[in-house]
Amino acid sequence: MMVGDQPLVIAGREIRNRFFLGTGKFQSKEMMRETIQAAKIEVVTVALRRIDLHSPTPENILDFIPAGTVLMTNTSGARTAAEAVRLARLSREAGCGNWIKIEVINDSRYLLPDNLETLKATEQLAADGFVVFPYMYPDLYFARAMAKAGAAAVMPLGSLIGSHQGLKTREFIRIILAEIDTPVIVDAGIGTPSQALEAMEMGAAAVLANTAVAEAGDPPGLACAFTQAVAAGRLARLSSPPQPRDLASPSSPLTGFLYSSHDPG
Amino acid sequence: MTIRINDQSLELEAETDVQSLIDRYLPASRHLIVDINGEIIRRESWRGWPLRDNDRIELIQLVGGG
């Protein structure tokens, strides 16, 4: 955490590292653990899947997530609000806490979230005591409705999941940031630390990435870079940097020149 | 009796309960979720929860995801 900053507090939990990490796609669970530890990740996402009775996964992912890490279970695989609600309840039953990233996707080509179904799930799960984080297309009306329904934060996508295209939706995320008080966590499509930094400079409360880190040549290294970039972006935001202007503004005094004929350019 | 687990058929002897099913197939699994016919069965209820012919069982676990 940087000078002058406060931790992000969600459901009474203080979070200092505002870079959240997804746990999918890592080459090994050992690499995932090393990445979480190296970057001091505090919040990770996990998913729920059926077990294949004939070849059950021998390792339990929870054995590789350091104690004290906050688990946020996603509802990936849900195509409707009802399916997302069921997955959330299954997660809570499994002892994974009640932080849920609501993810309702009907489209297999672009993996875009279905905002209407996501809102319905947000309403039901928030009323049922879950701490909900709806993953959403950055639409102001839905963001407002999700916040009103009790979302702990909204999670607008920066660009398509796993695309590394960064903040393609920046202008719409800006509007949400300006118009709602609920924390905004930018999720999906964030491929580089500079993109995460920009989201934080814009005023995001946190950034979540998965694929970029998991597919990096050095996942722990990139996760550390993301953590530092997110902290730098946060500090920049808090420090109120000046706005761009059209003309130069000298940073050295314009008096007392050594050469009297000098014409300041 | 025949039950369906994650859409696969499995023959079981009569009077098998959830706990013995887990013990046989997934002895090392923790944070395992059991859902029978759409109802989540809490871990403390596994022992003595009878499986019945044509039960539809889902066994679910946590995996990596973003």
Tell me which residue range forms the domain holding A70. Answer: 8-238
With respect to residue A245, please indicate whether it lies within any of the assigned structural domains: no
How far is residue A77's CA from residue A22's CA, in Å, rounded to a whole number? Answer: 16
Chains A, B: CB pairs < 8 Å: 102
pLDDT at position A43 is 98
Mean pLDDT of A160-175: 95
Indicate which of A60, A74, A102 best probes the interface with B, i.e. most B CBs within 10 Å of its own CB. Answer: A60
Question: Complex ipTM, two decimals?
Answer: 0.83
User: Does pLDDT of B6 surpass 90?
Assistant: no
pLDDT digit string (tens) for B35-62? 999 888 988 899 999 999 999 999 888 8
In DSSP terms, B34 is beta-bridged to B41, B59
> Which pLDDT band, with edges at 50, 70 and 90, does A242 fall under?
confident
pLDDT at position B14 is 83
With respect to residue B42, please indicate whether it lies within any of the assigned structural domains: yes
With respect to residue A192, please indicate whether it lies within any of the assigned structural domains: yes
pLDDT digit string (tens) for A4-31? 678 999 999 999 999 999 999 999 999 9
Comparing A32-36, A51-55, A140-144, A158-162, the range with the smallest average pLDDT is: A51-55
pTM: 0.87
State chain A's mean pLDDT as an integer. 92
With respect to residue A219, please indicate whether it lies within any of the assigned structural domains: yes
With respect to residue A24, please indicate whether it lies within any of the assigned structural domains: yes
**Residue A144, domain CATH:** 3.20.20.70
pLDDT digit string (tens) for A31-43? 999 999 999 999 9
With respect to residue A140, please indicate whether it lies within any of the assigned structural domains: yes
Query: Catalytic annotation on A29?
Result: no
How far is residue A260's CA from residue A100's CA, in Å, rounded to a whole number? Answer: 68
pLDDT at position A60 is 82
Look at residues B58, B61, B66 and name the one whose alpha carbon lies nearest to residue B3: B58
What is the SS3 string spanning A93-131?
HCCCCCEEEECEECCCCCCCECHHHHHHHHHHHHHCCCE
Q: Could you tell me the end-to-end alpha-carbon distance of chain A, in angstroms, rounded to an integer? A: 41
Mean pLDDT of A230-250: 91
Look at residues A62, A178, A241 and name the one whose alpha carbon lies nearest to residue B31: A62
With respect to residue A189, please indicate whether it lies within any of the assigned structural domains: yes
**Residue B16, domain CATH:** 3.10.20.30
Mean pLDDT of A155-178: 96
pLDDT at position A58 is 61
User: Does pLDDT of B28 surpass 80?
Assistant: no
Q: Which of A22, A32, A93 sits opposite B42 (nearest CB)?
A: A93
Angle at A144 between CA A139 and CA A145, to 5 degrees: 100
Put simply, the answer to whether A32 touches B60 (Cβ < 8 Å) is no
pLDDT digit string (tens) for A68-93? 999 999 999 999 999 999 999 989 98
User: Does pLDDT of A192 surpass 60?
Assistant: yes
State chain B's mean pLDDT as an integer. 87
**Structure-block tokens of residue A42:** 């505090």
CB count in 10 Å sphere of residue A174:
15
With respect to residue B19, please indicate whether it lies within any of the assigned structural domains: yes
Comparing A17-21, A54-58, A179-183, A247-251, the range with the smallest average pLDDT is: A54-58
Cβ-Cβ contacts under 8 Å, A32 against chain B: 64
Q: Is A164 on the interface with B (CB under 8 A)?
A: no
With respect to residue B66, please indicate whether it lies within any of the assigned structural domains: no
Put simply, the answer to whether A210 touches B66 (Cβ < 8 Å) is yes
* Distance (Å) of CA B26 to CA A137, B21, B29, B35, B44: 39, 8, 5, 15, 17
Domain count, chain A: 1
Tell me which residue range forms the domain holding B31. Answer: 2-61
- Is residue A47 within 8 Å of residue A24, measured between CB atoms? yes
> Which pLDDT band, with edges at 50, 70 and 90, does A264 fall under?
low
Domain count, chain B: 1
| Contacts (Cβ under 8 Å, ≥6 apart) of A101 | A45, A72, A73, A74, A75, A133, A134, A135, A155, A187
DSSP A242: P
| Contacts (Cβ under 8 Å, ≥6 apart) of A109 | none
> Which pLDDT band, with edges at 50, 70 and 90, does A183 fall under?
very high
What is the SS3 string spanning B9-60?
EEECCCCCEHHHHHHHHCCCCCCCEEEECCEEECHHHCCCCECCCCCEEEEE
With respect to residue B55, please indicate whether it lies within any of the assigned structural domains: yes
With respect to residue A243, please indicate whether it lies within any of the assigned structural domains: no
For residue A122, the one-letter residue type is T
Q: How close does chain A come to B59, measured CA to CA in Å?
A: 6
pLDDT digit string (tens) for A89-133? 989 987 788 999 999 999 889 999 999 999 999 999 999 999 999
**Structure-block tokens of residue B38:** 């759409």
- Is residue A57 within 8 Å of residue B63, measured between CB atoms? yes
With respect to residue A252, please indicate whether it lies within any of the assigned structural domains: no
